[in-house]
Amino acid sequence: MAQAETDGATARRPLSPHLTVYRPMMTMAMSMAHRISGGALYLGAALIALYLLALAFGPAWFSAFSWIGSGLFGHLILPAFVWALFHHLLGGIRHALWDRGLFMDPKGRELLATGTLVGGLALTVATFVLSSLAG
């Protein structure tokens, strides 16, 4: 596979214009956001694993790693992780609907992609408001 791409003869072939020829669309933006949020969850899970280990090892360890879960940084990382989680989760539901042939028309697919963005943000806000109310 790699040879086919790095081979001199093929490298000089004209390439068809790829992303640059399209007007940005919601479906394209959310497709990229799905992959980016997946990558963010990967990195976030590593940080949370570190936080949980510190919590398990005792107060001294926890004070060294509590920046992941509390303080200014913690109040950015965990909400960002929860947002990525909701966004990726709704992205999965979007794909499940498309798998079944639903919302495939021009209006429907843009509506669904916008719904992923708005829904992810709304669920994140709702979760943090409800959890702070629950105490």
Partner 1 sequence: MAPKNTFISGRTGRGAAYVSDASGASHDRFMRLTARALLPLGLATAWLLARLTGDSFEEARAELERPFPAVVLIAFIAIGAAHARLGAESIILDYVHDEALKQKALVVNTWVTRAIALAWAFAILLIAAPR
Binding site for partner 1 (CB under 8 A): 1-7, 10, 35, 38-39, 41-42, 45-46, 48-50, 52-53, 55-57, 59, 62-63, 66, 69-71, 74-75, 78-79, 81-82, 85-86, 89, 92-93, 96, 99, 123-124, 127-128, 130-131, 134
> Max Cα separation, the chain?
65
From residue 32, alpha-carbon distances to 28, 72, 94, 111 in Å are 6, 28, 14, 16
- Comparing CB distances to partner 1, the nearer of 104 and 129 is 129
Identify which of 126, 48, 46, 32 has the alpha carbon closest to the alpha carbon of residue 88.
32
Query: Measured from the CB of residue 22, what is the shortest distance to partner 1 in angstroms?
Result: 18
